[in-house]
Amino acid sequence: MANLNITNILEKMTGKDKDYRYMATSDLLSELNKEAFKADQDLEPKLTSTVLQQLEDASGDVSGLAVGEERVVEMTNKLCDKLLNGKDQHRDTASIALKTIIAEVTTTALAEKILISLAPQLINGVNTGKNAEIKCECLDILGDLLHRFGNLSKDHEYMLTALLSQLSSTQASVRKKSISCIASLAPSLSDDLLAKATSQVVLLLKNKSSKSEITRTNIQMIGSLSRSVGYRFGPHLAETALESFMLRCPRDISPYCEGILNLALTYVSYDPNFTDCMDEDTDEEGQDEEDDDESANEYTDDEDASWKVRRASAKCLSAIIVSRPEMLSKMYLEACPKLIERFREREENVKMDIFNTFIELLRQTGNVTKGQSDIDESSPRWLLKQEVPKVVKSINKQLREKSIKTKVGAFSVLKELVVVLPDCLADHFGSLVPGIEKALNDKSSTSNLKIEALVFTRLVMASHSPSVFHPYIKALSGPILLAIGDRYYKVTAEALRASSVDFRPYIGPIYNAILGRLANQDQDQEVKECAISCMSLVVSTFGDSLQRELPACLPILVDRMGNEITRLTAVKAFSVIANSPLRIDLSCVLDHVVSELTAFLRKANRALRQATLGTLNSLVVTYGGQIGSSSYETIIAELSSLISDMDLHMTALALELCCTIMVDRKSIQNVGLAVRNKVLPQALVLIRSALLQGQALQALQKFFASLVQSANTSFDALLDSLISAAKPSQSGGLAKQALSSIAKCVAVLCLAAGDQKCASTIEMLKGILKDDSATNSAKQHMALLCLGEIGRRKDLSNHVQIENIVIESFQSPFEEIKSAASYALGNIAVGNLSKYLPFILDQIDNQQKKQYLLLHSLKEVIVRQSVDHTGQSELKDSYIEKILALLFNHTESEEEGVRNVVAECLGKIALIEPEKLIPALKERTSSPAANTRATVAIAIKYSIVERPEKIDDIMYSEISTFLMLIKDSDRHVRRAAVLALSTAAHNKPNLIKALLPELLPLLYDQTVVKQELIRTVDLGPFKHVVDDGLELRKAAFECVDTLLDSCLDQVNPSSFIVPFLLSGLGDHYDVKMPCHLILSKLADKCPSAVLAVLDSLVEPIEKTITHKPKGDAVKQEVDRNEDMIRSALRAIASLSRISGSDYSIRFKNLMNKISSTSTLAEKYSSVRSE
């Protein structure tokens, strides 16, 4: 009856009315206090769940009743008494209850009361002569308590003294638990107490009379301390060094790296009980995996524990690899051969660590050399290539071992090797085939081994030339096809992926094996998707050999398009088939496929719509004549809704499909009409968008050309529509980008319509320019842009005096017209250099007031030459000499705009004539004029482009002269050098790698706030502080960000994070933003370096996310602050993904603060889901 009453109370406790919940909670408290109360098995979970739910109640009164702090403390005291003094059968129950309470406590006030009450009792249980089991339980609970709430205690010294004394216990289990407990306490210790703990442990280590097990305990204690407190352990490294120091204190460990590496390389092969000449092929019985820490069973001196030394050495090498990317080349020279040699390790657990260490070496290589070439003989990739034969030879021996675990590890090494060095096994694949066959055929093979073997096989096939594996198809096809029928879906999926290669002689069995999986509905989604993809590849590659089978196969693929789960994969499958050069006969399903795809264009799934547009494009190209006119009209109607600046990639795909339909089906009148009625209005709206650019803009230009060429559309009507689109709206004029887009489309339209229409359009545009009425400025602006775009594509020399008409616009009172005229003159010159370039150069000499605009015209000429032409440039030597003389005369200009234009011109000419320009620029690096030096550095920036150029060989030997301007006394010159370094790091990192050891300290120095660059300007009523070094610091941090992408193997992140990045995180808004990006990148690429100093990074980040703009802040300031907060939260999200970040008390407190602040929690959730 009592339990029925409690059930009713529990129902009321979950009601909507807080008063009802309060009264029900109060009633429950009364019931629980009754002596006769006893919960049955059904009631207990309900009771627990409801009370825990009440702890989160929005009403403080309700949650307060649910907690009942005083009663909880009283309960923990009673449980602790049972733990220390109770009977054996009650001790476990009391221990579990205490751990549960500690884990569930959420309020700081209650946690502090429990800590104050429990900690002394638990310490007493450890210190008194209790048996080892009670001590271990006390240490366990104390460790949990300190891990969660150690920072709330005031008795750190008392607890530390008591725990340190247990490190000398005769019981291994007590020593092990004490280590864990001290590590939980360590983050909360003051620097003095941490120093005391370290010095006491080191003192014990120096005691030569200590037993080996006590010494081992103290070594483990040092390692646990460093893992627990990270960078704070740095000052104590002079005493001792271990693996964890490499990971947790990479900055302070730097002086000891060489010694640690040498020791690790020595001891990784330490095996005094076995000689080096042992038979490598003998199978050794592997021991069960053991924990690194000591178990309760003691080892005697007679037992062989040397495997622990080798294992620890391997882990130490792994730590060096992960934490010191700048030592990667050294690791290949010294550690790589030793690791390959140790693949023969006799202890399986140690062997796994050797494999894992080698895999870390490979991953780090891929991480730091991404996007780099391996021509340089000192690069990690080149060094790895030299080791490949030894790796394969050693791995082949491991694949012959009986141990499944060993073979899985061997394939893991091979997998990573192929990922980092594609095509590296071209000469060695044959020797690995027997190992693959055995892994797939052997009855003792596990699913895990089969998956690893199949993944490796697929990676080789994807990254190597077909000629590498064709000789072995006969040997591999049997085991792979057999694996398609495996009962475990992951094995089947990998086997299907591996089947997607050129198996022409075996196509029949392959087709049948895949068809069985394709037709089967009752299987895992991954298998379904792999079967669809695999079948599409087989059909597209061997469809000519499968004519009879296609009528059975294709309808199944169509059916999979109707299933939401497999729809996207099926759409992509038909794209693969449509793109096949075999022109597979799809007549039996084509209408159905087109109908389904057209309907998909209305779906909300963006990925599905993108794939559908691509597939329809391929189908129209290959099977356009078989698709009905009505289908085209329906497709075009759907395309119109996809054309918008909200999704430019989708817009580009839609326009490309529209162009394909117009060009391929130009004989169908309804197609052109549908495009004009449905798509053209949307295109004219799109062209006015300021966001239009890239692929979408190119597709739009092609669209207008196709309209006039293939869709029987009136040129005059289209031209009028485009000119009308350029007219200002009631809300104001169009953006500069929109006007540029319209001009490009006008130019393309004119060229597509033919010479006659083009000529009449140019005359019309000239007429607009001759009309100098003030109301005509918008038309003149548009006319100039159109003339420039047409002139760049076509010689306009037949139109008399066009250059003079354009240059007259330099006199306009409107800046945008003058700029457009400059642009137009330069582009018209591109169409006929011999006529117009001398005119521009003469004008620069004679028209001093127009020089800035004329220099811009000249820039257009030079830029188009270096971009549009290969080989011999159209710029004659005589032109270049005159241009250079003119440009060098303007390098000292006081106007920054002029200097920037001059620098860009010089940089682009350097691409054409590097032999002349580089020496001339180098000579001017020592010019007494700072403006000249800055201009030279910016010119170098413009000369370093991503594609290979003939300037590269010359620049390699000369670039240091320019980049060393980073030491210049003038801040403008230093900033120019930083920008040049950043461009080089992004486009051609090999140019600067050898210089980075000297450049990096100089670059880091530019990130520091320099007081001499901060000045106060007196504005009368108030004073304004101006920071002249801000732009330089921002550029320097952005350069570091680029270097982390391209030259990570040359950067020591530990020496940069503190103090430079730390300073940047607390700097101005413009500096914080790139610093947040850098921190996110380092958290991903160098987590150990970040983890080592995580505590110190919390404060500036916390200030950023809690910063509030002033009450009178304008909207722009508020928006900037919001952007800054979100940027910092993204960095925090990256930090939270670092393994071990929860050991930082400060970071944990920051995460708690974010989760408990509703606005921050909402923003944080939003950035995590981006």
What is the band of 653 on the pLDDT scale with cuts at 50, 70, 90?
very high
Q: What is the CATH number of the domain that holds 363?
A: 1.25.10.10
pLDDT tens digit sequence for 1104-1134: 999 988 878 888 889 999 999 999 999 999 9
| Residues 259 and 214 placed together within one structural domain of the fold | no
| Residues 223 and 250 placed together within one structural domain of the fold | no
Check residues 303 and 946 and name the one with the higher pLDDT: 946
Q: Which helix (H) or strand (E) holds 699?
A: helix 694-710
**pLDDT at 543 (0 to 100):** 87
Q: Please report, for the chain, how many H helices and E strands are present, in that order.
A: 60, 2
pLDDT tens digit sequence for 560-591: 999 999 999 999 999 999 999 999 999 999 99
Do residues 963 and 995 make contact, with C-beta atoms less than 8 angstroms apart?
A: yes
SS3 at position 932:
helix
Spatial distance between the Cα atoms of 378 and 382, rounded to a whole number of angstroms: 7
Burial of 801 (0-12, 13-18, 19+ CB in 10 A): exposed
For residue 533, how many other CB atoms are within 10 A of its CB?
19
Degrees, nearest 5: CA angle 192-193-197: 120
Encoded tokens for 573 = 């499958």
| Residues 1117 and 996 placed together within one structural domain of the fold | yes
AA identity, residue 366? G
The last residue of one of the domains, among 723, 753, 783, is 753
Mean pLDDT of the 635-648 span: 93
| Residues 217 and 247 placed together within one structural domain of the fold | no
* Contacting residues for 1161 by C-beta, under 8 A, at least 6 apart: 1154, 1155
Encoded tokens for 1103 = 């200030």
Residue 300 belongs to some domain of the structure: no
What is the band of 442 on the pLDDT scale with cuts at 50, 70, 90?
confident
| Lowest-confidence pick of 518-532, 742-756, 931-945 | 518-532
| Residues 220 and 128 placed together within one structural domain of the fold | yes
Burial of 316 (0-12, 13-18, 19+ CB in 10 A): buried
**pLDDT at 279 (0 to 100):** 44
Nearest to 696 by CA among 757, 759, 654: 654
* Contacting residues for 290 by C-beta, under 8 A, at least 6 apart: 349
Do residues 726 and 706 make contact, with C-beta atoms less than 8 angstroms apart?
A: no
Mean pLDDT of the 819-842 span: 92
Residue 386 belongs to some domain of the structure: yes
The last residue of one of the domains, among 227, 259, 287, is 227
Spatial distance between the Cα atoms of 612 and 596, rounded to a whole number of angstroms: 9
Total domain count, the chain: 4
Q: Which helix (H) or strand (E) holds 635?
A: helix 629-640
| Residues 207 and 318 placed together within one structural domain of the fold | no
Do residues 328 and 365 make contact, with C-beta atoms less than 8 angstroms apart?
A: yes
**pLDDT at 49 (0 to 100):** 66
Residue 294 belongs to some domain of the structure: no
Alpha helices in 281-378 (DSSP H): 306-323, 328-341, 348-368
For residue 51, how many other CB atoms are within 10 A of its CB?
18
| Residues 312 and 396 placed together within one structural domain of the fold | yes
Do residues 783 and 819 make contact, with C-beta atoms less than 8 angstroms apart?
A: no
Whole-number average pLDDT of the chain: 85
| Residues 250 and 317 placed together within one structural domain of the fold | yes
Check residues 498 and 1129 and name the one with the higher pLDDT: 1129
Spatial distance between the Cα atoms of 673 and 711, rounded to a whole number of angstroms: 8
Examine the pLDDT at 593 and tell me if it is beyond 70: yes
| Residues 245 and 173 placed together within one structural domain of the fold | no
**pLDDT at 342 (0 to 100):** 92
Mean pLDDT of the 335-351 span: 92
Residue 811 belongs to some domain of the structure: no
C-alpha distance across the termini of the chain, in Å:
54
Do residues 223 and 244 make contact, with C-beta atoms less than 8 angstroms apart?
A: yes
Cα Rg for the chain, rounded, in angstroms?
37
Examine the pLDDT at 278 and tell me if it is beyond 50: no
Spatial distance between the Cα atoms of 398 and 408, rounded to a whole number of angstroms: 10
Encoded tokens for 379 = 């690069």
For residue 130, how many other CB atoms are within 10 A of its CB?
17
The last residue of one of the domains, among 406, 421, 436, is 421
Examine the pLDDT at 767 and tell me if it is beyond 50: yes
pLDDT tens digit sequence for 1061-1112: 999 999 999 999 999 999 999 999 888 889 888 989 999 999 999 998 887 8
| Lowest-confidence pick of 238-252, 539-553, 635-649 | 238-252
Encoded tokens for 520 = 């089967």
**pLDDT at 371 (0 to 100):** 60
What is the band of 129 on the pLDDT scale with cuts at 50, 70, 90?
low
Q: With helix as H, strand as E and coil as C, how does 800-855 read? A: CCHHHHHHHHHHCCCHHHHHHHHHHHHHHHHHCHHHHHHHHHHHHHHCHHHHHHHH
pLDDT tens digit sequence for 694-751: 999 999 999 999 999 887 788 999 999 999 888 877 666 788 899 999 999 999 999 9
| Residues 176 and 257 placed together within one structural domain of the fold | no
Domain holding 999, by residue range, is 992-1168
Do residues 139 and 181 make contact, with C-beta atoms less than 8 angstroms apart?
A: yes
Check residues 67 and 141 and name the one with the higher pLDDT: 141
**pLDDT at 785 (0 to 100):** 95
**pLDDT at 285 (0 to 100):** 39
Calculate the alpha carbon distances from 113 to 60, 72, 116 in Å: 19, 9, 5
DSSP-derived letter for residue 400 is T
Residue 1131 belongs to some domain of the structure: yes
**pLDDT at 504 (0 to 100):** 60
Residue 703 belongs to some domain of the structure: yes
Mean pLDDT of the 292-310 span: 55
Q: Which helix (H) or strand (E) holds 646?
A: none
What is the band of 104 on the pLDDT scale with cuts at 50, 70, 90?
confident
| Residues 1054 and 1152 placed together within one structural domain of the fold | yes
Residue 402 belongs to some domain of the structure: yes
Spatial distance between the Cα atoms of 1033 and 513, rounded to a whole number of angstroms: 62
Encoded tokens for 558 = 């169509």
Question: Which of 75-89, 205-219, 383-397 tops mean pLDDT?
Answer: 383-397
Spatial distance between the Cα atoms of 478 and 504, rounded to a whole number of angstroms: 14
Degrees, nearest 5: CA angle 664-668-672: 85
Do residues 387 and 362 make contact, with C-beta atoms less than 8 angstroms apart?
A: no
Structure pTM? Answer: 0.70
Examine the pLDDT at 116 and tell me if it is beyond 80: yes
Spatial distance between the Cα atoms of 759 and 947, rounded to a whole number of angstroms: 37
Check residues 103 and 1042 and name the one with the higher pLDDT: 1042
Alpha helices in 1007-1093 (DSSP H): 1030-1046, 1053-1056, 1062-1065, 1069-1085, 1087-1092
Nearest to 829 by CA among 842, 818, 840: 840
For residue 120, how many other CB atoms are within 10 A of its CB?
15
Do residues 291 and 217 make contact, with C-beta atoms less than 8 angstroms apart?
A: no
**pLDDT at 1043 (0 to 100):** 94
Do residues 253 and 236 make contact, with C-beta atoms less than 8 angstroms apart?
A: no
Residue 675 belongs to some domain of the structure: yes
What is the band of 35 on the pLDDT scale with cuts at 50, 70, 90?
low
Mean pLDDT of the 423-432 span: 90
**pLDDT at 637 (0 to 100):** 93
pLDDT tens digit sequence for 375-419: 677 788 889 999 999 999 999 999 999 899 999 999 999 999 999
| Residues 128 and 161 placed together within one structural domain of the fold | yes
